[in-house]
Amino acid sequence: MKAPPFQYHRPQTREELGTLLSSLENAKILAGGQSLMPMMNLRVLAPDHLIDINRIPGLAGIRETPEGIEIGAMTRQADILSSDVVKARLPLLSRALEHVGHIQTRARGTIGGSCCHLDPSAEQPAMCAILDAEFIVTRPDGHRIVPASEWFEGLLQSALGEQEFLEAIRIKPWAKGHGYGFAEYARRHGDFAIAGGAALIEASKDGRITRAALLSFGIEASPRRLSDAEAALIDQPIGKLDLEPAVAAARALDAMEDVHVTPDYRRHLAGVLIRRALNEACTTLERQP
């Protein structure tokens, strides 16, 4: 089908964008269009106004700052995937992006679009959640910073207010040589995942875990950190990890049901995938000499 009629706006500056956002009713921002356009073509959405932010300078790009790595909201998934900075310092994000759609969708799709759309199985917001990213939001009176723990408000619902837009995402990299692991299950490569898991670890010289983060995604409406299981990993020796608390935590989540799988099966996958992710994190961890 074709998109219903709308008025098209193409602001050239953040100020113009701000004015449009505060004056228009039933408006939608158009970033990469890889989620919004399908929904409009399927007539699930019918905004009166489409505000194309593809021509606003400075919204795309990857910068290293003292506060962390800042990825502009309009940075294309393809450019993040090919970034050497991201590969070296945020290897988990790189690894996850290989699973996001296909070369054609990554050429247009943006990290900001994915983090505003918030599909429950989307990899990019999930990686923001495990990496404790900060969402830099622009609003009529300036900026505000939303921590990942407050960004997810439910199914397809971010903390973004009506007159606000996502400017950038800031991520503090973990220590050099940290371990990272990612696992997801999808029916075909590049399809939306049915379930996924991710893990990050740091360890001391004598091989004991000093810091850990664990996350399941695609299970509940929003990605979910497994905080108790993270705490249980501290001080454990690599190679003799007790994986069971992580697996049990993932299996205890309030799993969604959909046309593909039952909640039981999804919980089962959550356990399998968190185990794989954690094992992979142990193998990617570079042992300190």
Ligand X SMILES: Cc1cc2nc3c(=O)[nH]c(=O)nc-3n(C[C@@H](O)[C@H](O)[C@H](O)COP(=O)(O)OP(=O)(O)OC[C@H]3O[C@@H](n4cnc5c(N)ncnc54)[C@H](O)[C@@H]3O)c2cc1C
Shortest separation between residue 268's beta carbon and ligand X, angstroms:
21
Using rule CB under 6 A, residue 28 touches ligand X = yes
With respect to another protein, which residue has the nearer C-beta, 188 or 205?
Answer: 188
Q: Could you give the residue ranges of the DSSP H alpha helices within the chain?
A: 14-23, 36-41, 77-81, 84-89, 91-97, 103-108, 111-117, 123-130, 148-151, 227-233, 244-251, 263-284
Using rule CB under 6 A, residue 97 touches ligand X = no
CA distance 247 to 56: 44
Query: According to CB under 8 A, which residues from 181 to 240 bind another protein?
Result: 188-190
Shortest separation between residue 118's beta carbon and ligand X, angstroms:
8
Query: According to CB under 6 A, which residues from 110 to 129 bind ligand X?
Result: 110, 112-114, 116-117, 119, 122-124
Q: Is 253 left (phi over 0), alpha (psi -120 to 50) or beta?
A: beta
The dihedral of CA 35, 181, 160, 164: what is its sign? negative
With respect to ligand X, which residue has the nearer C-beta, 166 or 282?
Answer: 166
Query: According to CB under 8 A, which residues from 101 to 140 bind another protein?
Result: 101-105, 107-108
Query: According to CB under 8 A, which residues from 5 to 44 bind another protein?
Result: 5-8, 10, 30, 33-34, 37-38, 41-42
Q: 8 touches which of another protein, ligand X, none (CB within 5 to 8 A by kind)?
A: another protein
With respect to another protein, which residue has the nearer C-beta, 43 or 143?
Answer: 43
Q: 54 touches which of another protein, ligand X, none (CB within 5 to 8 A by kind)?
A: another protein
Shortest separation between residue 38's beta carbon and another protein, angstroms:
4
Q: What is the DSSP string of 30-85?
A: ESS-TTHHHHHHTTS---SEEEE-TT-TTSS-EEEETTEEEEETT-BHHHHHT-HH
Provide the 3-class DSSP secondary structure of residue 216.
strand
CA distance 240 to 244: 12
Instruction: Copy the structure tokens of residue 276.
Output: 């794989």
Using rule CB under 6 A, residue 11 touches ligand X = no
Shortest separation between residue 228's beta carbon and another protein, angstroms:
37
With beta carbons less than 8 A apart as the criterion, state whether 214 and 198 touch.
yes
- Strands across the sheet with 179-185, in order? 179-185, 195-203, 209-217, 224-225
Shortest separation between residue 27's beta carbon and another protein, angstroms:
14
Instruction: Copy the structure tokens of residue 235.
Output: 């001080």
Bridging pattern class, strands 62-65 and 68-72: antiparallel
Query: According to CB under 6 A, which residues from 186 to 225 bind ligand X?
Result: 190, 192
Instruction: Copy the structure tokens of residue 144.
Output: 């505000």
Residues at the interface with ligand X (CB under 6 A): 28-36, 38, 73, 99-101, 105, 109-110, 112-114, 116-117, 119, 122-124, 160, 165-166, 190, 192
Judged by the rule CB under 8 A, the positions of this chain that interact with another protein are 1-8, 10, 30, 33-34, 37-38, 41-42, 50, 52, 54, 78, 101-105, 107-108, 188-190
